[in-house]
Structure 1
């Protein structure tokens, strides 16, 4: 049985290769379908926005022996609040209840009624009110932060790679990750809070990092692509993707393990709350980001570059030359081995550093 290290070495050397670029259209089409579904979910189901975005009144009942959510819902219903009530158990012995905005008298009456119903002192019932204008301002700032992030990323990618196709492919990957993650929140109706927005920004950073790692290797493998006649641009991109596949898997696993611990253990032990808001966004976003850096960003780059005049003409010449060689060898082309050297192979004395002459 092949070891994981051996599998990684074969991917790096080109002995084993998964032709991801060949199926670029299929991967991109699947991404577009998921994006459309996510947008439809957001449009029709909407997001379960927290009180920080919508405004309202929040009650937190602490140290109760019976953290039954229906008790709080029933009490507020008796107080004349019949719509927009959301009750959640927090940390096992606390209940968080959110309602539309109540005036001061209504809030105090509800507070006393909740204290009596849950058999706790009035001091253990906290009341917070958030104005609608403040909530709108928070939502606007959250949107602005995402837009600013995307603009800065565009400039960074353009400067770092000096290639508009790489910048565009990275932005496509970022949009893919963000929209699908938001669509997931619309599907499961988990509350979206400011902490969730922080999670969205974090996954954009993670996705960008993973994409830059892949593109850095792709830039290395495609360097001087027009100066050789053996391989097409897409084949060299595919080599770079395969060479970074193991690293992407390792990075994703290492990043997901602590987030999964926070998400599942934190939710079970502490109940729903800020930990769930941010950890769920991170968990879903990192999964989608690991996928997109390999199966969305790189195929998009290969397709865009493949349509450029010089690259397109070069690829056509390579394929024609290969077809002519295949006809002269019983109609069979040799297996494509892109990597010139295997890991650990001696490069010869010419590759050794030269000693400087000292006077």
Structure 2
């Protein structure tokens, strides 16, 4: 176990992540198929904001000072309206402001009156029947939130594509977008599989995790860019090996970033739900918890491997990989495989010098000489 942590900390390329990319593709494809199948056949557990319905609120403490439980409220609901079931019964808030919210399919005026009367008689909440309120929820509000979220998602993808294309290159933009789509589908699939309620807070939370996933991917890509600078003129390692080294060098940072990001989300889930009983915080924390975990995995096992596959379709990088193989074949023995170019020791030494020069140039900031800094030719005259 200590050797594993040591390799993680050193980041010397000991984990062959890119070399096993076909394995990661297969695992991801299976998970994606399961998630898509669940979304198609099971659908989502849409909240009242998307389906519409009736919401009834009442104090969570009775007139005698006893706490009213959600299970008791569900039993009274079934007694008042036989054949109907609430979509959700939640305890919201704490202390004197604590309430119980009942969300159900749309009820008629008579059904709402019957429910409020039965709740007041059987549970006797503080304030009596007048403390029990009801409201009708329209499904159009949730739909409007979804449309705005989709537009935000569209412009997010446009901005990401432009930024990554100009700052890095189009292949990195494709790799990052594949990872982001991977995160969206799996996160939505988990909600469909487990049956978590989808609310507007869930949609908003889904948008927030995209930024985290993209940040982690950009960190890795920046290291890949640094490791592959001038690579075509070198024969020390291939593009895939340089990208794998970049992944190992940033792996510990990715793990630490994910763990640190998960801590406040777990705190939000525990405090917001367990202590305050706020359902909106639960919806927001759940989607972030799932999304951050999936986003960390995709930035490591999906984004960079996709980038390597796209790069290795370029004839220039294919030829460079052959030169690397030729140099290694010569170093391994006197016989060289047929069809592979030979590379002498002088060329290898030149490659090493080039790589050191590129590394030095990347670490030292460029300074533009000023006109006054130029060395003046001596004139022999004394300066006054």
TM range (shorter): 0.7 to 0.9
**Runs (5+) with no aligned partner, structure 2:** 338-351, 377-384
Cα pair distance change 1:123/1:316, threshold 3 Å? farther
Q: Distance in 2 between matches of 1:55 and 1:133?
A: 8
- The question of whether the paired residues in 2 share the 8 Å contact of 1:87 and 1:95 is answered with no
Larger Cα Rg: Structure 1 or Structure 2?
A: 2
Matched, 1:279 2:285: yes
Higher relative contact order (CA 8 A, sep 6+): 1
Residue from 227, 230, 233 that aligns with 1:227: 233
1:54 aligns with 2:51: yes
The residue that corresponds to 1:245 in the other structure is: 251
Question: 1:272 deviation in Å?
Answer: 6.0
Which has the larger displacement, 137-146 or 199-208? 137-146
Is the Cα–Cα contact under 8 Å of residues 165 and 305 in structure 1 kept in the other structure? yes
Matched with 1:148 is: 155
User: In the superposition, relative to structure 1, how do residues 199 and 132 fare at CA in structure 2: closer, same or farther (>3 Å)?
Assistant: closer
CA distance in structure 2 between the aligned counterparts of 1:134 and 1:277, rounded to whole angstroms: 17
Cα 1:321–1:114, aligned 2, differ >3 Å: closer, same or farther? same
Contact 1:61 1:115 in 2 (8 A): no
RMSD of Structure 2 on Structure 1 (CA): 3.2
What does 1:282-297 align with in structure 2 at a 5 Å threshold?
282-297=288-303
C-alpha contact (below 8 Å) 2:238/2:324 kept by paired residues: yes
Question: Structure 1 pair 273/319, CA: closer, same or farther in 2 (3 Å)?
Answer: same
The residue that corresponds to 1:314 in the other structure is 320
CA deviation map 1:72-121 (0-9, x unaligned):
33444445463452233324764321111123443333233323332112
Contact 1:58-1:96 within 8 A present in 2 as well? yes
User: CA, structure 1 residues 304+204, in 2 after alignment: closer, same or farther (shift >3 Å)?
Assistant: same
Matched, 1:110 2:115: yes
Unpaired stretches in structure 1, ≥5 consecutive residues: 332-337, 342-346
* Alignment partner, residue 122 of structure 1: 129
Correspondence 1:45 to 2:51: no
Over 3 Å counting, the alpha-carbon distance change for 1:130 and 1:148 in structure 2 is farther
Name which of 305, 309, 327 aligns with 1:303: 309
* CA shift for structure 1 position 209: 0.7
Distance 1:2 1:282 in 2: 31
SS in 1 for 2:56: strand
The alignment of Structure 1 onto Structure 2 pairs a total of residues equal to 343
